[in-house]
Structure 1
Amino acid sequence: MSVLRFEALPLPYFINSGFSLAGPGRKHPERWAVGEFDLIVVKQGCLYIGEEERRYEVSEGHALVLRPDLHHYPTEGCRETTASYWLHFQAGGAWRAGDPEEEEENGTMEEERLESGGGEKEDEAAAGWFRKPTFGIELPQFARLLHPAKMYEALQRLIDLDRNSHMDSVRWEQQALFQQALMLLAESMRAERSRPGEEIADRAASYLRSRYREPISSKDLAEALNFHPVYIARRMRKQFGCSPMEYLIRCRLEQAKRLLLQTDLSVAQIALETGFRQAAYFTACFGKRERMTPREFRLRFLKG
């Protein structure tokens, strides 16, 4: 399955949408690198669309996202009356395309392309505590919708609002409906494919985040999740780019930065509050990650 991954914030954003009713013989238009994503949802009938070397039959209850940088073309005309919604959107930030199944087989994400729209992660030391918290959004390029009726309703509402889209409040509502449509699309992908490795990594992360104050070993984590520590570490490196213990240190430092800014606790007290047994070790970990000492961090944002 081809998957599109967007780095947010900023979020992908809605441009416009519409509804198309095509009789037998009608074809999807041919386009070259139109510069925006095109979400197509078929409510009745079937559309026959190609994107570069891939060919799709988008039938009732299915959705297809056409990329902004590739050639799209009809592979044949409609065989029956076909009703479909279309929606154009931009990534907002960085995005890439790849195949998670190849990632599982080869151990790496084979990226087809990376586009930058202002969503790159900033240098943490420069951005400081007030940097934008980014996260990933994964969407299937082609999927059978888990809740097609909900998708139709959201897309129809987007179209109905268009007559008043000159109003800021309406544009805001349209953006919210668009995010709802993306969530429905993502939900369909999660239901379609099962990736137990991701679940293990997420469970490990939740365990570590909920117990960051406690002394935790790899053995403790393995016993809690009932998986071998080597397997847990491999899954976390694949999903989060670090080992479980490195992830635990990150969690502790996140909490420490909050306490530095929101309390007048001493550095030694904050070290104990966040699971560091020694203030010197806390200071060393903090300096390695933030490129400044805890005191310097506190003064940087609280002076004046």
Structure 2
Amino acid sequence: MAGDKTNGAAEPVFLIFGKSGWIGGLLQEELKKQGAKFHLADARMEDRSAVVADIEKYKPTHVLNAAGLTGRPNVDWCETHKLETIRANVIGCLTLADVCNQRGIHMTYYGTGCIFHYDDDFPVNSGKGFKESDKPNFTGSYYSHTKAIVEDLIKQYDNVLTLRVRMPIIADLTYPRNFITKIIKYDKVINIPNSMTVLPELLPMSIEMAKRGLTGIMNFTNPGAVSHNEILEMYKEYVDPEFTWSNFSVEEQAKVIVAPRSNNLLDTARIEGEFPELLPIKESLRKYVFEPAAAKKDEVYKAVKEMRGR
């Protein structure tokens, strides 16, 4: 596999695009922890000459692409910033993949699994998950639309591993982009089981995937699905016994958001084949999120109360 230097004498050298982003920051922490050699790219990915300059300057064996636009405060932003979304999520991503391909460098692309939605062929609670080979069926948001397009195009590059991230979760229950933080802040949530990505467990595996030279598409989630209510019940169990919330329907939710949201279960046979130790979603949540939260319950309780303004 072009770009996989780990079987030879060369030490892997990682180059991170998206250095100021959430996943980019977490990758830096993980690579430091591993004692790995890495650099931070300065180029905007849609600027091909700048990308080439970074590649030539740092001479990576592996590129980690954690850049792109998800929108602030959420994906609704992309509905009114379509050109910016195209530049970052389509042109930039393809430019970086192309430059890496021409130089035989492995690229890991942190994409999204929010390009699928439950339907008649994949019903809720059926246990049937979308596979890596399935064609995306959700383009309800412009964000998901661009991500589905770039996934379809980038799979032609034999040096790229695309990781489908979903509803990413970390241990910090006050970090604004943490999926759990988002639903804790709401008075009302929908209650649909979804595949999710527990980053403390999965991100280190993504670095190992890069070292192994894996390519193609990988559903990058923990096995199984968990509902919003089940997560909030865990929060109630581990942190705040008095915590309350209520549910509303997808139709009611649609009245307070601009773009529809994706809900799905992704098949995890491929990632489980590579990492048999990967925990099911509920076990992973307990180990990597709620048990650490319970260990500092008073601190977490106070921080969440302040965040919610109550």
TM range (shorter): under 0.3
- Higher-strand-fraction structure: 1
TM-score (norm 2): 0.24
- Calculate the TM-score normalised by the size of structure 1: 0.24
